[in-house]
């Protein structure tokens, strides 16, 4: 295993495959897929037990797209392939580099992919990155050439010998795909894009693998430092992707207050009414006024709640319940995130811990097991204490935060955590009802509060977001009322939302929403049945080539388009021989016929002469007639022969001409093919020379 090597610019023709690991994901298999760890962020760890009400949506591997957009190379992106699809890709294409992005649980898949690459493309360099790179002994577990730890854009630029400090370009990426709600696949207009202003988080909570991957406490990699830069990027994305809202993949977007407030100023100046879905720590969010957040367009917050009186400074002095209620009352959806299994949790207090989390009544609630993931301070702590569990006890594919602890908990007996985390989800669902209803409730608050906001941008944004409220969302609530008709506590909550919606949007909305509700109820029942039968949801394969890769692809097609000349002279000669043979045969026939005619003519001539009787004068006259007649016949025979000779001459000439034409055509084809072959050979040899130079640079000590 070599470490990062700086290379001379390999140029735009370096063929790179950037890929995620293979699926299917929502099943138990030998490669580490697990039924309880599907490739769906929400269904995996937020709305996990909400059955037909669960939010089903897939998210792309944004890191790969960011790398692709920021290096000069012919890149192919492959996401969510099956193993067969991945093998077909490396079997039928040649690459110089293959980058695999993965999280820790998928190590077996990465191992298998490396093996397959060595089998089909032994000359390729394999680079493995993502959270898996935090594993200490990764290089001993998989057959990769390089491990890309931390931020990948800079790493790839350095590896390719390109400018590491060039400005970061931001690709236009949709936030999610394959959205499925209440059992229906939703046709999205792709209005929500992705913004990645930085990676990592300087807050540095001890368990946070994202923070650890990008430098830990006090560190992060900021792509866009100023509000102006972010504003310009957002304008670009709005134009390119037609987005009016953005999911901001920044662990703590509002942490840089100066940047956020400058962005607000620019949005106001340029009349932009974007909305943002963000991640934030409680202390940071509490440092803004509600009006600032609303004006900024904060619509959805992913908020770490951890626990009451926790050791985390981000929660110090903050009443998170009060904060959540306040945010919701200002029309902001809150996704609370709580951890099960902190040091202070015991079998005795775990119910209280869960009750406290559930009492926040957030719109969505994520629960994760306290998990020391490689690279984090928590992992080091357990390693030092020797309290990490062996892989034989808890295999790596189980360490996804929804199933098992990978350490010996001070108070919780091993294995019990699985039921705790499940009960947290179930309690939240049982008490607070479907997240979709909660989401609609907060949206309605936003509509009521801001539909006439003096800042026209805010009013416009809220009106845009609330368009589905009167019929579609109200219809969703109507269907839930039917579904929960025997569950009084949830029914009561749903009826409050329904009455609020009806009084806000009037009779027509009530009638239409009731009809939608009837239809949606049937779909929900079908979805419930489907889920009970074990149906799972898998993402579609994503396969994209950038401009440079497409250009190379064209070149490849050009090579395969070359027509080889007809080298089949045998066929030409055979045809010629056949022709000549026919001619010879015809001549022979003609000769034989004429000869026969001549023989019989002569015979007849002699016979006629011998049979002459009568006077000498009469015989002299008859003889003259016979001779003349014979001469006439001979003349005819001669003329026939002459015609035959002239026909043969013409035929031979035609054959010769045709042969010459064919020859000239073949000659032209040979010349053209020669040129093509030369050009392509030259290109291939040039690539080979480049490869030689790279190898020489990579192993300088060997040469």
205 binds ligand SF4 (CB under 6 A): yes
50 neighbors 434 (Cβ within 8 angstroms):
yes
336 binds ligand SF4 (CB under 6 A): no
Distances (CA, A) of 401 to 104, 301, 338, 367, 368: 11, 21, 12, 9, 5
Comparing CB distances to ligand SF4, the nearer of 183 and 204 is 204
Interatomic CA distance for residues 192 and 243, integer angstroms: 5
Least distance between ligand SF4 and beta carbon 283 (Å): 9
Comparing CB distances to ligand SF4, the nearer of 378 and 477 is 378
Least distance between ligand SF4 and beta carbon 195 (Å): 16
Query: Vertex 47, ends 46 and 48: CA angle to 5°?
Result: 90
- Show the binding pattern over residues 494-533: x = contacts ligand SF4 (CB under 6 A), - = does not: ----------------------------------------
Least distance between ligand SF4 and beta carbon 339 (Å): 9
Comparing CB distances to ligand SF4, the nearer of 233 and 284 is 284
Interatomic CA distance for residues 471 and 450, integer angstroms: 19
Comparing CB distances to ligand SF4, the nearer of 283 and 417 is 283
Strands 146-148 and 15-19: unpaired
Q: What is the DSSP letter of 430?
A: H
Comparing CB distances to ligand SF4, the nearer of 227 and 304 is 304
- Considering only residues 240 to 279 of the shown chain, the ones binding ligand SF4 according to CB under 6 A are 251-252
Least distance between ligand SF4 and beta carbon 424 (Å): 18
Least distance between ligand SF4 and beta carbon 529 (Å): 38
Distances (CA, A) of 81 to 68, 315, 410: 18, 41, 41
- CB contact burial 240-277 (16+ within 10 A = b; e otherwise): ebebbbbbbbbbbbbbbeebbbbbbebbeeeebbbbbb
Interatomic CA distance for residues 623 and 202, integer angstroms: 134
Q: Most distant CA pair in the chain: distance in Å?
A: 161
Strands 198-199 and 221-222: antiparallel
Least distance between ligand SF4 and beta carbon 163 (Å): 30
Which one of the spans 88-96, 197-205, 348-356, 675-683 is the region binding ligand SF4 (CB under 6 A)?
A: 197-205
Q: Omega before 220 cis (within 30°)?
A: no
- Residue from 99, 171, 204, 517 binding ligand SF4 (CB under 6 A): 204
- Residue from 21, 160, 201, 490 binding ligand SF4 (CB under 6 A): 201
Which one of the spans 77-85, 131-139, 188-196, 205-213 is the region binding ligand SF4 (CB under 6 A)?
A: 205-213
**Number of residues in the chain:** 703
The 3-state DSSP composition of the chain as helix, strand, coil percent (nearest 5) reads 55, 10, 35
55 binds ligand SF4 (CB under 6 A): no
Comparing CB distances to ligand SF4, the nearer of 243 and 370 is 370
Q: Counting beta carbons within 10 angstroms of the beta carbon of residue 400, is it exposed (0 to 12), middle (13 to 18) or buried (19 or more)?
A: buried
403 binds ligand SF4 (CB under 6 A): no
- Residue from 20, 38, 81, 304 binding ligand SF4 (CB under 6 A): 304
Which one of the spans 81-89, 202-210, 489-497, 669-677 is the region binding ligand SF4 (CB under 6 A)?
A: 202-210
Comparing CB distances to ligand SF4, the nearer of 252 and 442 is 252
Interatomic CA distance for residues 438 and 431, integer angstroms: 12
Comparing CB distances to ligand SF4, the nearer of 145 and 251 is 251
Distances (CA, A) of 228 to 211, 260, 453, 698: 25, 10, 26, 41
Which one of the spans 207-215, 354-362, 438-446, 601-609 is the region binding ligand SF4 (CB under 6 A)?
A: 207-215
Least distance between ligand SF4 and beta carbon 200 (Å): 8
Comparing CB distances to ligand SF4, the nearer of 198 and 299 is 198
Nearest to 251 by CA among 297, 291, 292, 215: 215
Comparing CB distances to ligand SF4, the nearer of 39 and 284 is 284
- CB contact burial 535-546 (16+ within 10 A = b; e otherwise): eebbbeebebbb
Interatomic CA distance for residues 38 and 47, integer angstroms: 12
- Considering only residues 581 to 640 of the shown chain, the ones binding ligand SF4 according to CB under 6 A are none
26 neighbors 44 (Cβ within 8 angstroms):
no
Comparing CB distances to ligand SF4, the nearer of 209 and 465 is 209
- Show the binding pattern over residues 633-672: x = contacts ligand SF4 (CB under 6 A), - = does not: ----------------------------------------
314 binds ligand SF4 (CB under 6 A): yes
Which one of the spans 196-204, 266-274, 287-295, 602-610 is the region binding ligand SF4 (CB under 6 A)?
A: 196-204
- Residue from 203, 458, 477, 516 binding ligand SF4 (CB under 6 A): 203
For 521, the token pair is 């109820």
Interatomic CA distance for residues 295 and 664, integer angstroms: 78
Distinct helix (H) and strand (E) counts, the chain: 22, 17
For 406, the token pair is 């990978």
Comparing CB distances to ligand SF4, the nearer of 311 and 595 is 311
Comparing CB distances to ligand SF4, the nearer of 160 and 278 is 278
Least distance between ligand SF4 and beta carbon 251 (Å): 4
Least distance between ligand SF4 and beta carbon 201 (Å): 3
Interatomic CA distance for residues 703 and 691, integer angstroms: 15
Q: Counting beta carbons within 10 angstroms of the beta carbon of residue 413, is it exposed (0 to 12), middle (13 to 18) or buried (19 or more)?
A: exposed
Q: What is the DSSP letter of 122?
A: T
338 binds ligand SF4 (CB under 6 A): no
Comparing CB distances to ligand SF4, the nearer of 205 and 293 is 205
Q: What is the DSSP letter of 413?
A: P
| Residue 631 neighbours by CB distance under 10 Å | 12
Least distance between ligand SF4 and beta carbon 91 (Å): 40
281 binds ligand SF4 (CB under 6 A): yes
Q: State the alpha helices, DSSP H only, in 368-473.
A: 377-385, 417-432, 435-450, 456-465
56 neighbors 179 (Cβ within 8 angstroms):
yes
Please compute Rg for the chain using Cα positions: 41
- Residue from 211, 245, 371, 546 binding ligand SF4 (CB under 6 A): 211
Interatomic CA distance for residues 210 and 198, integer angstroms: 11
Least distance between ligand SF4 and beta carbon 216 (Å): 9
Least distance between ligand SF4 and beta carbon 14 (Å): 34
Interatomic CA distance for residues 36 and 391, integer angstroms: 19
Comparing CB distances to ligand SF4, the nearer of 25 and 214 is 214
Comparing CB distances to ligand SF4, the nearer of 19 and 210 is 210
Q: Catalog residues that contact ligand SF4 under the rule CB under 6 A.
A: 201, 203-205, 208, 210-211, 251-252, 281, 304, 314
């Amino acid at each position: 295993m070599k470490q990062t090597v700086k290379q001379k610019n390999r140029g735009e023709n370096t063929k790179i495959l950037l890929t995620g690991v293979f699926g299917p994901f929502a099943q138990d298999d030998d490669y580490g897929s697990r039924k309880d760890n599907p490739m769906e962020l929400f269904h995996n760890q937020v709305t996990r037990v909400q059955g037909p009400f669960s939010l089903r949506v897939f998210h792309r591997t944004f890191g790969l797209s960011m790398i692709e957009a920021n290096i000069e190379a012919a890149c192919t992106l492959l996401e969510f392939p099956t193993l067969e699809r991945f093998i077909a890709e490396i079997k039928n294409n040649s690459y110089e580099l293959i980058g695999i992005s993965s999280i820790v649980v998928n190590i077996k898949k990465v191992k298998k992919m490396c093996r397959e690459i060595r089998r089909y493309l032994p000359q390729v360099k394999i680079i493995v990155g993502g959270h898996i790179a935090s594993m200490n002994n990764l290089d001993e577990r998989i057959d990769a050439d390089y491990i890309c730890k931390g931020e990948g854009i800079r790493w790839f630029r350095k590896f390719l010998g390109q400018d590491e400090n060039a400005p970061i370009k931001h690709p236009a990426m949709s936030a999610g795909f394959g959205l499925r709600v209440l059992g229906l696949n939703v046709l999205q207009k792709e209005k929500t894009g992705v913004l990645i202003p930085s990676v990592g988080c300087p807050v540095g909570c001890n368990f946070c693998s994202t923070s650890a991957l990008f430098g830990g406490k006090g560190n992060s990699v900021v792509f866009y430092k100023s509000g102006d830069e972010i504003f310009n990027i957002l304008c670009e994305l709005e134009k390119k992707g037609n987005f009016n809202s953005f999911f901001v993949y920044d662990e703590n977007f509002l942490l840089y207050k100066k940047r956020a407030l400058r962005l607000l100023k620019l949005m106001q100046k340029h009349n932009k009414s974007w909305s943002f879905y963000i991640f934030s720590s409680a202390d940071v969010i509490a440092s803004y006024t509600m009006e600032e957040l609303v004006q900024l367009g904060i619509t959805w917050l992913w908020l770490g709640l951890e626990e009451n009186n926790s050791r985390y400074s981000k929660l110090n002095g903050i009443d998170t319940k009060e904060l959540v209620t306040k945010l919701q009352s200002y029309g902001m959806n809150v996704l609370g995130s709580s951890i099960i299994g902190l040091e202070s949790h015991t079998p005795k207090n775990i119910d209280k811990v869960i009750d406290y989390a559930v009492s926040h009544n957030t719109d969505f609630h994520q629960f994760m097991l306290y998990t020391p993931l490689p690279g984090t301070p928590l992992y080091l702590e357990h390693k030092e204490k020797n309290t990490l569990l062996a892989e034989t006890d808890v295999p790596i594919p189980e360490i996804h935060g929804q199933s098992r602890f990978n350490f010996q908990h001070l108070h919780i007996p091993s294995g019990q955590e699985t039921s705790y985390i499940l009960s947290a989800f179930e309690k939240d669902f049982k008490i607070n009802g479907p997240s979709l209803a909660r989401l609609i409730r907060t949206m309605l608050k936003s509509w009521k509060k801001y539909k006439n906001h003096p800042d026209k941008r805010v009013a416009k944004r809220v009106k845009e977001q609330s368009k589905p409220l009167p019929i579609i969302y109200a219809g969703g609530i109507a269907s839930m009322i039917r579904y929960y008709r025997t569950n009084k506590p949830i029914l009561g909550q749903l009826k409050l939302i329904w009455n609020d919606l009806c009084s806000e949007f009037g009779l027509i909305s009530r009638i239409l929403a009731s009809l939608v509700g009837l239809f949606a109820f049937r779909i929900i029942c079908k979805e419930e049945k489907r889920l009970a039968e074990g149906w799972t949801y898998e993402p579609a394969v994503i396969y994209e080539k950038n401009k440079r890769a497409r250009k190379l692809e064209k070149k490849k097609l050009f090579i395969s388009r070359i027509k080889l000349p007809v080298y089949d002279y045998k066929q030409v000669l055979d045809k010629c021989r056949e022709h000549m043979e026919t001619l010879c045969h015809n001549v022979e026939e003609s000769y034989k016929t004429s000869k026969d005619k001549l023989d019989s003519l002569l015979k007849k001539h002699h016979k006629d002469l011998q049979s002459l009787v009568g006077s000498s004068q009469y015989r002299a006259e008859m003889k003259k007639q016979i001779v003349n007649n014979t001469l006439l016949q001979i003349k005819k025979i001669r003329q026939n022969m002459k015609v035959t000779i002239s026909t043969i001459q013409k035929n031979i000439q035609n054959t010769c001409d045709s042969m010459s034409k064919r020859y000239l055509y073949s000659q032209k084809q040979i010349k053209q093919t020669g040129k093509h072959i030369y050009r392509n050979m030259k290109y291939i040899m040039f690539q080979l020379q480049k490869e030689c130079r790279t190898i020489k640079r990579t192993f300088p000590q060997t040469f």
